Structures are given as C-alpha cells and as structure tokens.
Structure 1
Amino acid sequence: MKLKLVNGSGALQVSEAAFGHKFNEPLVHQVLTAYRAAGRAGTKAQKSRAEVSGGGRKPYAQKGTGQARAGSNRSPLWIGGGRTFAAKPRDFTQKVNRKMYRGAIRSMLSELARTERLLVTDGIKLEAPKTKLLAQQLKAWELPSVLIVVEASDAKLALAARNLPHVEVVEVPALNPLSLAAYDKVLMTVGAVKLIEERLQ
C-alpha cells in the first residue's frame, strides 16, 4: 500500500500489517465509547433522606391536624428533604485490553488510508513558531481540519498549531482513537509512519 506525499509528487510504501486491515466498526465503536467514558469525572453526588441532616423528630401528631401523616420533615416529598434514588459517585471506566486498543487504531488508520484521508509529509518546515505560517502551509495543502502526527516533539509546530481551531499536533505515543475520529484528515511525518509500523506489527 502507498500513501500520498503532500509536499512531493511521489508516494510512500507502507506496511499492510499496519495500514491494510479491514475496517472493524463494532471494535472501533467499543473503543471510542470506552475512551469517552474514561474521561467522565463520575463525581455527581446527592443526599438521600438518610443522609440529609435533621428530620429525626415526627413533625406533628399522627392524627387530628387534618394534614397527611408525616414521620420526618426530611422525606423526599418535603422541601429540604432528601432525594429519591440519590445519585452517588461512580466509575465509568470500561475495560479495553491492549489487543483491542491496537486493533482499533490499526482499523482506523487502514480506513483513513483506504479513503485517501491519510497523508504523509517528509516534514513541516517553519522558520518561526507562527500560526500564520502554519495556516498558510495547511491552506496550500487543502487541509482545513487535520490531525498532525509527528515522531518527536516539535516546539515550533506545537506553538504554531495551538491557536488553530481545527488542527491538533500529537506525538505517536499520544495517538488515540478519539483524535483520529475528530478530524477530516490525518497528516503524518515519514518518521511517524515508520514508528507506527514498528508498534503495530
């Protein structure tokens, strides 16, 4: 399989083991759901009638007042009372083993390559860490919404990209399914492609 070079007329030959898999939609969906769930705080908490302070004494006599009987002024029916079925803190994380995670990444990269949304560059050369320079370069390549994957941290590129709304720069170890799904196209450096091939074979 070959990937198109954006800053050249050629193409880069890549491994079928990393970029030539069939798209496994159920697996990708499961991993994306688990990844999003792991980002939830799960700290929501409310008090039930047992946890609200007060309410130990019967508010008024059982009979003779004309009102409905009541045993506590902290009943969920009362203002200031506890919550029925009070929410408690919970852990939303779902188990995703390494084989599933790598399978989802492999599947997504293969689909991006098949639909020609995965592009390669031999490097993004910026004279200075300026957003304007990167924006001009991406416009020339027709990449308004793009995930840029690099093999090692690039301070100039990171600073230039952080103020662009539909552009994200990640290193290969930080590559995740959510980022791959969030952008129209993915642009990788040649070094990043080689590193991904090593990791996924």
Structure 2
Amino acid sequence: MNVKMINNDNGFLDFDIPDSIFNINFNEPLIHQLVVSFQSNARSGNRAQKNRADVKHSTKKPWRQKGTGKARAGMTSSPIWRGGGRAFPSFPYENFTKKLNKKMYKLGIKSILSKLYKEDRMLFVDSFIVDLPKTKSAVSKLSILGLNSALIITDNVDENLYLATRNLPKIAAIEPRYIDPLSLISFEKIVITKAAIKQFEEILG
C-alpha cells in the first residue's frame, strides 16, 4: 500500500507500507479483550479485608447449643454476625492477570494500527530527531507537522528525544517493541518513522 511520507526537508516521498499490518479488518471484540487484558495485567491488589480468623474476637461459644430457643452460634467472629469477618474477603496479593496469547495480541495491535490509518490519524515520517534535549526543540518540530497530541513511534528513543518530550502532556515517544493498545488509542495522531515500520514488520509479522 503506497502512502505519502514526510522527509527530513518537509517534502513528500512515496513509500510502501505492509497491508498485513495497516490494512486489515477492525476486530472490535478482540480489541476490547486486548484492552481489558492490558489494564488487568497492570493492576495490583491494594485492598485487604479480614476473614473470621483475622478479626479480634473470642472463640468462646456465645451460648449453649440447645435449649435457648435462639439460632445456633459457634463464635462471634462468624460472617453472619455484626462485627464478624468477611466470608470472601479481598486480599492485597489477589491476582488480576488475564492471559492473552501472542497471536491474538499481535492481531489486536495490527487491527488498531489499521483502524488508525483508515481514520487518517497516522503520519509517516522519514525520521524524528531532535538536536537538543530541550522541550522547545520537540515543540518546534511538532509545530512544523501541525501536531498537538501525538504518539511518536520511532526505532530508537534516544536521550534527547526522551528529555525533549517528557514534559509535554499530550506527547509521548515510544519504540515499537514497547507499544501497547492504550497508548495507541490515547492520542489524536500517531507519528511513525520509516525504521519503526520495519521493526513492526519484524515484531508483528
């Protein structure tokens, strides 16, 4: 598939991008599964409740088993008692991981990239290099491209690029190997370099 790529002189040149990555059908159920899996895997347990063994109660039987007319009771830490432990408490070491196999993950990323390309939210550039580790260097380059919110995908995020973009709230730079579904859908535009496309071909197949 042939696209227009912006070269280092801000001119245009023709470039072929792989149909297998940028021109496949959008699979919404798979994307939903991919995003849910990514968010769940990033989650860690941060809450804790006490079960009947953890609450501080006497283990003495409140009253005898028979003859009182009241319901049977073994101890006041029972979950059915006020102040008792929880029957199924939450633990801080709870595992929220949702597994997604590599084939599905790759297909999901390709589906998102294809959707972004079809929505005209993708910009192809020969390279994206900033000369100084200064925010104004990145702002100057982005303003030439007319971008306010963009994810820059390049083959190598060097120190200059990292330092120049880290203070910009709507700008981020990332390498193809670290790409994730939330990053792709969180920005208005995706800027991809020629070398990054080659890496995508190697990673996604």
Q: Which interval holds the TM-score relative to the shorter structure?
A: 0.7 to 0.9
Choose which of 113, 116, 122 in structure 1 pairs with 2:120: 116
Q: CA deviation at 1:50?
A: 2.8
Aligned partners of 1:18, 1:140: CA distance in 2, in Å?
A: 28
Aligned partners of 2:187, 2:108: CA distance in 1, in Å?
A: 16
Q: CA deviation at 1:75?
A: 4.4
Point out where structure 1 has 5 or more consecutive residues left out of the alignment.
63-67
TM-score between the two structures when normalised by the length of structure 2: 0.84
Secondary structure in 1 matching 2:60 = coil
Identical positions, percent? 39
Partner in structure 2 of residue 131 of structure 1? 135
Partner in structure 1 of residue 204 of structure 2? 200
Aligned partners of 1:69, 1:100: CA distance in 2, in Å?
A: 53
Superposition map of 1:56-71 within 5 A:
56-58=59-61
Point out where structure 2 has 5 or more consecutive residues left out of the alignment.
66-70
Secondary structure in 1 matching 2:185 = helix
**How many residues are matched?**
198
Partner in structure 1 of residue 5 of structure 2? 5
The question of 1:140 aligning with 2:144 is answered yes
Tell whether the 8 Å contact from 2:155 to 2:175 is kept in structure 1 after alignment. yes
Tell whether the 8 Å contact from 2:177 to 2:203 is kept in structure 1 after alignment. no
Could you give the per-residue CA deviations for residues 118-159 of structure 1, whole angstroms, max 9, x where no partner exists?
111122232311112212321232221111111123110110
Partner in structure 2 of residue 185 of structure 1? 189
Tell whether the 8 Å contact from 1:131 to 1:160 is kept in structure 2 after alignment. yes
Partner in structure 2 of residue 65 of structure 1? none
TM-score between the two structures when normalised by the length of structure 1: 0.85
Q: CA deviation at 1:56?
A: 1.4
Partner in structure 2 of residue 87 of structure 1? 90
The question of 1:54 aligning with 2:41 is answered no
Q: CA deviation at 1:59?
A: 5.7
Could you give the per-residue CA deviations for residues 145-198 of structure 1, whole angstroms, max 9, x where no partner exists?
111111123110110000110111111111111211111111011110121123
Instruction: Please tell me the residue identity of whatever aligns with 1:103.
Output: L
Instruction: Please tell me the residue identity of whatever aligns with 1:181.
Output: I
Aligned partners of 1:31, 1:71: CA distance in 2, in Å?
A: 47
Q: CA deviation at 1:30?
A: 0.7
Instruction: Please tell me the residue identity of whatever aligns with 2:161.
Output: L
Partner in structure 1 of residue 102 of structure 2? 98
Greater relative contact order, per chain length (Cα 8 Å cut-off, separation 6+)? 1
Q: RMSD across aligned C-alpha pairs, in angstroms?
A: 2.6
Instruction: Please tell me the residue identity of whatever aligns with 2:142.
Output: L
* Residues 90 and 133 (structure 1), Cα distance of their counterparts in 2 relative to 1, 3 Å cut: same
Instruction: Please tell me the residue identity of whatever aligns with 2:85.
Output: G
Could you give the per-residue CA deviations for residues 48-106 of structure 1, whole angstroms, max 9, x where no partner exists?
123223321246889xxxxx997644345434x32343223421111211110100111
Instruction: Please tell me the residue identity of whatever aligns with 1:3.
Output: V
